[in-house]
Amino acid sequence: IEAGQDVIFTCRTGMRTGANCARLAAAVDGPAYVLQGGVDAWAAAGLPVVEDRKAPLEMIRQVQIVAGLLVLTGVVLGFTVAPAFFGLSAFVGAGLTFAGATGFCGMAKVLALAPWNRRAA
């Protein structure tokens, strides 16, 4: 992004960008805006939306998929292999509770490092 160029931050509903607008605006050198209502509101207004089918899934969906698989794995292994595997499900549940209470999601930080979430150079 060139210095002084307008930047518009978006997310699906506008909730995440709205909640983080001050931090996002501080990251750019120039005017910054948040799309009120997000891409959902833009599409509902009948405005054109172009979807990048090569883009990775939204981070929250990736976290939901991985957390769900880990909990399911812990339960299945807990019943079939050893009860200690229920601890995996408890660990994931504690992590999700911590993420909800603090706004910091360690799983999202780890998933952000995955090759499919890195921008091509």
C-alpha triplet 114, 2, 119: angle, nearest 5°: 15
The pLDDT of residue 18: 82
- The pLDDT tens digits of the residues spanning 51-77 come to 888 888 888 899 999 999 999 999 999
Q: So which residues are the catalytic ones?
A: 11
pLDDT (average), residues 97-115: 93
Asked if residues 15 and 38 have their Cβ atoms less than 8 Å apart, the reply is yes
The pLDDT score that the predictor gives to residue 75 is 98
Q: Judge whether residue 121 has pLDDT over 60.
A: no
pLDDT of residue 100: 92
Distance, CA of 8 to chain centre: 18
